[in-house]
Amino acid sequence: MQSLIPVVLSGGSGTRLWPLSREKYPKQLLPLIGNDSLLQATVRRMEGMTDVQLGVPLVVCNEEYRFVIAEQLRLMETKGSIVLEPVGRNTAPALTLAALAAVRSGDDPVLLVMPADHVISDIATFQAAVRQGMILAEEGVVVTFGITPDSPETGYGYIQAGERIGAGEARNIARFVEKPDRPTAQAYLDEGSYFWNSGLFMMRASVWLSAIGFCRPDILSACRAAWDRGSADGDFLRVDKEAFMRCPSDSIDYAVMERITTNDIRLPKGAFIPLSAGWSDVGAWDSLWQVLPKDHEGNVTQGDVLLHDCRDTLVMAGHRLVACVGISNMVVVETPDAILVSHMSNTQHVKKIVDSLKREGRPEGELHRKVFRPWGWYDSVDSGERFQVKRIVVKPGAALSLQMHHHRAEHWIVVRGTAQVTRGDTSYLVSENESTFIPLGTRHRLENPGCVPLEMIEVQSGSYLGEDDIVRFEDVYGRSNLA
């Protein structure tokens, strides 16, 4: 039996789930359902398949998310390889990089390709479908999974089923169709042979490389050049930025799958397996409401929430009490720096708010107030003219870069733990209830030499307090000035 490697595609920004999902901390990194993030739940989806030879998961992600994803895998005690995309180029190049990574040792495993931001609640049914797909994929077939529809959904593409393949559930693919209008979607639902396109795929790595090479040789050429000029950096597999930027952007469906339905003998055969496993792409707040458990009035609440006379409503409170009275079919989401209030029927338009934030140059579209870094995190708790206050937590053994600021000075007060401070040519310890001062233009570094998290308050003062006022001289994480 061929080995099976889960390939987790962690692209996309999930703007319709703003304000929880932000461009630089998207929905796949959030624990929207249960304690695991969507990415962690995706990686766990294959646990328990003892009858399959599972390989180490491959996660393909934007370089900007590399440390958060590495930390989430570490917390799961899961080993994984992380392929870093310097820029986003859609799913076909991402899968091509994963296939090149999978065959680098001379093996030719079956790849199970899964978006990192989907939900599947019935794991046993999903794993049974994977076992069916594995048989076909080992024979050189490109397999996708079609979700059995339960409504006339206009937000998904569809797959039309063809003839059955053998005695199992697998079928030939008659055609792929674009997202329909509502009457067409209703006709698809009534007809019974149309399934939602899930974005889940299975194939041998060599089969994908052959197919993408035939259908889109420009994509394969650019990805191979980027891969060949890349390098390994611990668990990170870096590709060459200049070469990858020349790669065209295209999806798996457009680049290959729609060509497979033409029955061109130069391409592999395609098949799809119907899947009814509680799947959702959690594309907007209404779809999240649908998959979460509800009270007897149809309400979903998380956090400190009080409701009176409310129905079919989603309320999420992250940092304070949220009280709602007499509302129905609404979404209310509270974060430290933004609150969303929307009618359930309009949640697809939340993206327009994010677009407006970007046009106005406001940070709420990109970042949370709490920002994760490879060494820990910081929370911008207050700011005003010429000052900013941050709460900083540094993980045991971690260190910030050796750096300097042109426009600001910093005051550090240690609340918990012990800080190792480098200031100019001197190095010294700062303990709990002690403080130190970093003058403007001074090289400095903050380290946590202890075995407990270092917690401190930083007060910045100066004429400019932006995160781009950092000149890095040394950094154990290989970051540039803006990373």
Chain segment 380-389, per-residue pLDDT in tens: 999 999 999 9
- The whole-number pLDDT of residue 155 equals 86
* pLDDT at position 194 over 90: yes
Q: How confident is the model over 283-312, as a mean pLDDT? A: 96
- Helices within 389-462 (DSSP H only): none
Q: In the chain, where does the domain assigned CATH 3.90.550.10 lie?
A: 4-280
Is residue 12 predicted with pLDDT exceeding 80? Answer: no
- Whether the predicted pLDDT of 482 surpasses 70: no
| Residue in this structure with the two tokens 């000075």, named with its chain if needed | 409
Indicate the helix (H) or strand (E) that contains 370: strand 370-373
- Give yes or no for residue 481 having a pLDDT over 70: no
Contact 272, 146 (CB under 8 A): yes
**pLDDT value at residue 222:** 97
Going by pLDDT thresholds of 50, 70 and 90, the confidence category of residue 262 is: confident
Which CATH superfamily groups domain 4-280? Spore Coat Polysaccharide Biosynthesis Protein SpsA; Chain A (3.90.550.10)
Percent of the chain clearing pLDDT 90 (strictly above): 78
List where CATH 2.60.120.10 sits in the chain: 370-474
Q: What is the CATH number of domain 370-474?
A: 2.60.120.10
Burial class (CB in 10 A: 0-12, 13-18, 19+), 326: exposed
Per-residue confidence at 79, pLDDT binned at 50, 70, 90?
Answer: confident
Assess whether pLDDT exceeds 80 at residue 232. yes
What's the pLDDT at 136? 94
Tokens describing residue 412: 């550090």
| pTM over cut 0.85 | yes
Q: Which residues contact 78 (CB under 8 A, 6 or more apart)?
A: 43, 57
Q: Tell me the CB-side half-sphere exposure of residue 212, using CA atoms within 13 A.
A: 31
pLDDT of 464 strictly over 60: yes
2 pLDDT band, cuts 50/70/90, is: low
Q: Grade residue 63 by pLDDT with cuts at 50, 70 and 90.
A: confident
DSSP state of 105: T
Q: Residue 167: is its pLDDT beyond 80?
A: no
pLDDT at residue 77 is higher than 90? no
- pLDDT, average across residues 272-277: 93
- In whole numbers, what is the pLDDT of the chain averaged over residues? 93
Q: Is the pLDDT of residue 356 over 90?
A: yes
- pLDDT of 367 reads 87
| Residue 168: per-residue pLDDT | 79
* CB proximity list for 166: less than 8 A, separation 6 or greater: none
* pLDDT tens for each residue of 317-341: 999 999 999 999 999 999 999 999 9
Query: Radius of gyration of the chain from Cα atoms?
Result: 25
**CB of 204 closer than 8 Å to CB of 143:** no
